[in-house]
Chain A
């Protein structure tokens, strides 16, 4: 579960802090999720750092900073282990450090003690901008070729077409409902936002300020005159509209969910019958015989994606490259994707998952599916959609609004 990132610290994972998105292109009237273009902004020039041209022998060890569950070495469950095989294969011993928040990740990386990090979108651009991480020469990572095109060179893992890391995996925030109570099957977020919803009191929503983006996404489709181009770039009026929608939604909400166990339980007991979810939650609920179904509604959805990056001052760069290659290798990427409950980054992983239908379930190969997903990006005052004439609401304002929404 996209856990740490959202559950513990909320640090809302996500892409593009600051200066996000210097890739100048797009910005057309029909915005494409994930491109997060920022036309007219050219302020973000990362420090000049060179990616290595070639790799040497491994240094014998590598120090990683990562989210819990990304580098399992069998200590939590002997059957879940892709670190030990890596150590055996490469001779690089892994010293791993779990970070609780994106801020912690950034701070740990700045100490210079670590070689690689599984950065979320909000950490990644900060790391790039401060010169903490270096560009990655993807030609030195053989498995990079297998990574889905939809994950390469995105706003949260590259600058100006230069890759700063390798994508780890991805997932969308879907709509889940109980098939025995919610009829007909919904295909729109309106089922959780419409004031006259017959499911009032049994609707659930994700408990984080970033959920405001879900409302913005819905408004993007239903109230085009608000002019929302990117659900993470909201000016005063757009933001107010989203907040108002959520305040009205609160009357319908039974409970907000923040962790996976809580939501599965609520859907199984029928305390919640419809609301946002992650694919893995739906799978667990179904496995435990709850009558639920999920869909990616017609308005699209929000989602998340992380990136492995290498420190500019890495003491063990060769082992770090070997790790990045390993974690997106078909086998290891399949393992981590299944353990974590996400779509793998490597297309060849799909044949290696223990559950042969894993990729199908998580829509890993479905680029049309992910083209409808707006990956989490930290909202900042500089509008991420490229507007320069207005100021957008930053994440601390989103947080306060969230307090107000919950009342």
Chain B
């Protein structure tokens, strides 16, 4: 890169400043998790670890976390399968309506969450309820998977585009059938893209609140829903800060592992 020195300095400064802006509010969350004030007033009125204790002892947090993980894993699994299938179809074949299909994949994430939310809510209640299936974790997974497909799809599409089809052809020439080629040739090469797409899809699902609000059954509480409810209860609001702070710290582990596994490609989409 032949950038002038001032340009480099300016860019590095922008990056540092940008990250600073990103992390200052998170730092405030962390500080507030030790803030004695019950509605996290500023500046903090005193230091306390009682919110951390409360969070640690809260079965509600653990249940919500577990629900969120289930929802995220379920939605991501579906998104991985569907997203990969469409990416292959779009990347490897030319067919009538190809553009429409690619637009359709993007639609669930491009339309505002509240539209997707009430459309799915309405559909679930009209279609599923006569069969005795109410809103529950299942409907949350369906709702999340709908908008998670696109992240897997895009990662896969980019990867497949870079790979080209020649490798697969070579594999076929060597006598491997369709399935074997996928397992031994294609899959290893797209694994990191899948990982990146899956990770992002999980993250999207994990922090989704609007679609979840409309698709969750009465007893199903994902972490964002739990946070939403508890922000508005006396003595519970500060616990929410603890949960967020803990999540930030914990999230580094899966992201880092994914980055390692995918050799640096993860996170890009």
Contacts and interface: CB of A to CB of B under 8 A. Distances in A.
Interface of A: 1, 3-4, 7-8, 65, 68-69, 74-78, 97-100, 104, 108, 111, 259-261, 264-265, 268-269, 280, 284-285, 287-289, 339, 341
A260 B38 contact: no
Given A1-B234, A75-B59, A104 B218 contact: yes
Contacts of A97: 218-219
Given A74-B59, A98-B219, A268 B229 contact: no
A178 to B, nearest CB: 14
Given A97-B218, A261-B39, A265-B39, A75 B58 contact: yes
A104 B235 CA distance: 27
Interface in B214-240: 218-219, 221, 228-237
Interface in B96-116: none
Chain B contact surface mostly: loop
**Which of A7, A77, A268, A284 has the most B CB atoms < 10 Å from its CB?**
A77
Given A269-B41, A284-B38, A288-B41, A76 B232 contact: no
A79 B224 CA distance: 23
A61 to B, nearest CB: 16
Chain A contact surface mostly: mixed
Given A4-B229, A76-B58, A280-B234, 13 more contacts: A1-B232, A3-B232, A3-B233, A7-B232, A8-B229, A65-B218, A75-B58, A76-B60, A76-B230, A97-B218, A97-B219, A260-B234, A261-B231
Nearest to B42: A269
A288 B233 contact: no
Contacts of A104: 218
B63 A288 contact: no
Interface string B107-138: 00000000000000000000000000010000
A268 B218 contact: no
Contact of A288 (B39, B59, B232): B39
7 contacts: A8-B228, A65-B218, A261-B39, A264-B38, A265-B41, A288-B45, A341-B234
Given A287-B38, A288-B37, A69 B218 contact: no
Contacts of A260: 232-234
B45 A76 contact: no
B4 interface: no
A186 B235 CA distance: 29
Interface in B27-57: 37-42, 45, 54, 57
A100 B218 contact: yes
Contacts of B54: 77
A284 B41 CA distance: 12
**Which of B40, B57, B63, B229 has the most A CB atoms < 10 Å from its CB?**
B229
Contacts of B229: 3-4, 8, 68
Nearest to B237: A261
A259 B234 contact: no
B39 A76 contact: no
A78 B234 contact: no
Contacts of A288: 37-39, 41, 45
Nearest to A2: B232
A367 B241 CA distance: 40
A379 B45 CA distance: 44
**Which of B58, B231, B233 has the most A CB atoms < 10 Å from its CB?**
B233
Nearest to B233: A69
A256 to B, nearest CB: 15
B57 A268 contact: no
B67 to A, nearest CB: 13
Given A69-B233, A341-B234, A76 B59 contact: yes
A65 B219 CA distance: 10
Contacts of B233: 1, 3, 68-69, 260
Given A264-B39, A288-B45, A259 B219 contact: no
Contacts of A100: 213, 218
A339 B230 CA distance: 13
Nearest to B134: A111
A264 B238 CA distance: 13
A272 to B, nearest CB: 13
Contacts of B228: 8
A74 B60 CA distance: 9
Given A99-B218, A100-B218, A288-B39, A259 B232 contact: yes
B41 A268 contact: yes
Contacts of B41: 265, 268-269, 288
Contact of B218 (A78, A98, A261): A98
Interface in B55-92: 57-60, 63
B59 A261 contact: no
Contacts of A289: 45
A404 to B, nearest CB: 20
**Which of B213, B221, B230, B234 has the most A CB atoms < 10 Å from its CB?**
B234
Contact of B234 (A4, A68, A108, A284): A284
A74 to B, nearest CB: 7
- The 7 A-B pairs at the shortest CB distance, nearest first, are namely A75-B59, A76-B60, A259-B232, A264-B39, A268-B41, A261-B237, A75-B60
B227 to A, nearest CB: 11
Nearest to B132: A111
A10 B137 CA distance: 23
Nearest to A7: B232
Contacts of B39: 261, 264-265, 268, 284-285, 288
A259 B231 contact: yes
Contacts of B60: 75-76
